[in-house]
Chain A
Amino acid sequence: MITKKNSYLRPLDLKQGRIDMNHGAGGRVGTQLVDELFARAFDNDYLRQGNDGALLPVPRPGHRLVMATDAHVISPLFFPGGDIGSLAVHGTINDVAMLGATPLYLSASFILEEGFPLAQLKRIVESMAAASRACGVPIVAGDTKVVEKGKGDGLFISTAGLGLVPEGCDIGGANARPGDVVLLSGSIGEHGVAVLSQRESLDFDTTIRSDSAALHTLVAALLAAAPKGAVHVLRDPTRGGLATTLNEIAQQSGVGILLQEAAIPVLPQVAAACELLGLDPLYIANEGKLVAIVAAEAAEGVLAAMRAHPLGHSAARIGEVDADPHRFVQMSTAFGGRRVVDWLSGEPLPRIC
């Protein structure tokens, strides 16, 4: 008599195993990787639908959707204060939230390099799952692909986010008006310096941690404190730092901006690291800060609401929007002079997000 054996697949070796080309070939091994690692960690109703895409309810008429997408290629993958997984979740949620939207769903694609240790992958996926749960934004769709050794750098993650803009909310980079006040949610430069400190070629020890955080609750708090239509622009100063973000806004809105150098919060450790490395904190990336450009009469209320939120406790009023047709971002230096704060040119730090 022939006994029928239950099909058996040896569990993933999450301690010693490594990604190989089979994981991307679409066979049982690939499915196993998705089931045992990704689906288990990200588990939610939408993923459990088990289809090629997630079925989502349509928002009510009058509301609008925001969609944002983000690619993450950071090196190193782990850094003080986070890793590529939590960064991917925070970064995408922030892009959605900067339009005043409530983030609802995320998707994530993973490009894995042959030979990548499963233990590291597990750590990253679990960190991503934890971040998504903490933010209350589920990862509802995903994909994995494997590339040959040498054709990737361990792991790249591409994410997309979908969010809901409430009726009547109109926030965008083109909305800054002369007379508006520029608010910043906290000290700048921590993410870039934390990542830089981990580079193999740089021997310096620091206690600086990345500020990587999801800002949607801070956005909700400041919007709740502002009269309708008083918040004109929200943007998170990531790559290129505060200087680049403000130049983008000045360009988009056709205005100038005048900053007060002394008002911009910078941690002394960050200032010291930048001094040593010849960098300017204004150009260093942040992953948990936002710039809010608001109508002058609403500025005090919005600032107070930001300061009352844990992610905005050191928020500050850093400058004003003016009617400069040349769209310069300028700064009154703490020294008493004045200068342009220009776009970032070239790259101070490779691959920081």
Chain B
Amino acid sequence: MKYVDEFRDGALARNLATSLRAEVDPARSYSFMEFCGGHTHALARYGVADLLPANVRMIHGPGCPVCVLPIGRIDLAIQLALERDVMLCSYGDVMRVPASDGLSLLRAKARGGDIRMVYSPGDALRLARNHPEREVAFLAIGFETTTPPTALVIRQAAREGLKNFSVICCHVLTPSAITHILQSPEVAQYGTLPLDGFVGPAHVSIVIGSAPYEPFARAYRKPVVISGFEPLDVMQSILMLVRQVNQGRAEVENQFTRAVDRVGNRAAQAVMAEVFELRDSFEWRGLGEVPFSALKIRPEFATFDAERRFGLSYQAVPDHKQCECGAILRGVKRPADCKLFGTACTPEHPMGSCMVSSEGACAAHYTYGRFRDIPLVTAT
């Protein structure tokens, strides 16, 4: 594949690995958080950990949109499908996220709910057009990457005067999540979570640009390198972070120059601003309530807001007592530290959301990396 294979080249990877080994200071360790699930997935799927020096540790951050979606939000969607006879559409990743009462969207579907997997909100809009007799709702999740498409379909539905389409808006914002981690006691006070810098979001930054990271790079003295999602991107970004740390710099650098600039996509930002406004507070799975960290639909588009349309009220639901998703999402624990990991909680029977999406820290480690937890068998 042109423009993809170039960024997965094994020979270039070995060169980068050599540079990394040469440049890291053996007397210290480096801890970098990759914010996005896309980076977590790339690190695991391509076996990048094998190419990193032993004193470079990658911490999986909270940037997997499925993982930070709290149980109560899925419950709202299930409620619409099972109790209000709504045709509920969402992304495939959300289908298996565990909700209350042992349900998930997939299990609610087996109980008779009309639940459809779609590849884009445009598909949901089309279902609404083709089924004027049905209420169609789209469970919209994700960071700034998936937000503009949701905004577009809401605006389009308004223009067409669709009477049967609405959105459960669960869109969340990246900068506030990063700030939240930097202000967490583990990082800010106790230092139990050593954090030397961030591998910054790829697709999110295409939309918002690199400028929004500048305030906290300055304020918290943490370097940020915006990185593409291909494995070579991630390796190069790690090298750039190592150089910043070695030189005592804390800047926002952009490795993903082929797609990201400082200002971002203004058209996308405009349509988001037209349709959405800030929520005062939003519950994140693992992080709890985070002020000004999510979006809601503006009153002008209230008729497309499923929460208003159906009078839904959000109920917070606690995670399983032993589930460590919260600590894992904050980078405080690793997947294998959780008692449930690989025993009660597997991709087939996820207890926590980190085990659901392939971008989740637990699922990525289970699927691609769990052989590292046990004595390695050398290949014949």
Q: Give A residues with C-beta under 8 Å from B.
A: 178-179, 201-202, 256, 258, 262, 268, 271-272, 275, 277, 320-326, 328, 330, 332-340, 342, 345-346, 348
Contacts and interface: CB of A to CB of B under 8 A. Distances in A.
Given A271-B1, A272-B1, A336 B367 contact: no
Contact of B347 (A179, A325, A334, A346): A346
A190 to B, nearest CB: 16
B49 A256 contact: no
Interface size on B, as a range, is: 35 or more
A194 B366 CA distance: 30
A335 B368 contact: no
B178 to A, nearest CB: 25
Contact of A322 (B13, B17, B116, B377): B377
B119 A258 contact: no
Q: Is the interface of B mostly helix, strand, loop or mixed?
A: helix
Contact of A339 (B44, B118, B119, B123): B44
A-B pairs with lowest CB-CB distance, top 4:
A337-B47, A345-B347, A337-B50, A335-B46
Contacts of A335: 8-10, 13, 46-48, 51, 231
A324 B377 contact: yes
B370 A340 contact: yes
Contacts of A334: 8, 10
Contacts of B96: 346
Nearest to A201: B123
Given A268-B1, A322-B379, A322-B380, A337 B371 contact: no
B4 interface: yes
B374 interface: yes
Given A201-B123, A346-B347, A339 B47 contact: yes
A313 B17 CA distance: 37
Given A335-B48, A336-B47, A337-B47, 9 more contacts: A179-B380, A271-B1, A275-B1, A322-B380, A333-B45, A339-B44, A339-B45, A340-B371, A345-B348
Given A277-B119, A335-B46, A335-B48, A326 B377 contact: yes
25 contacts: A201-B118, A201-B123, A256-B377, A258-B379, A258-B380, A271-B1, A320-B380, A324-B377, A328-B371, A328-B377, A330-B371, A330-B379, A333-B45, A333-B47, A335-B48, A336-B47, A337-B48, A338-B371, A339-B45, A340-B368, A342-B347, A342-B366, A342-B367, A346-B95, A348-B92
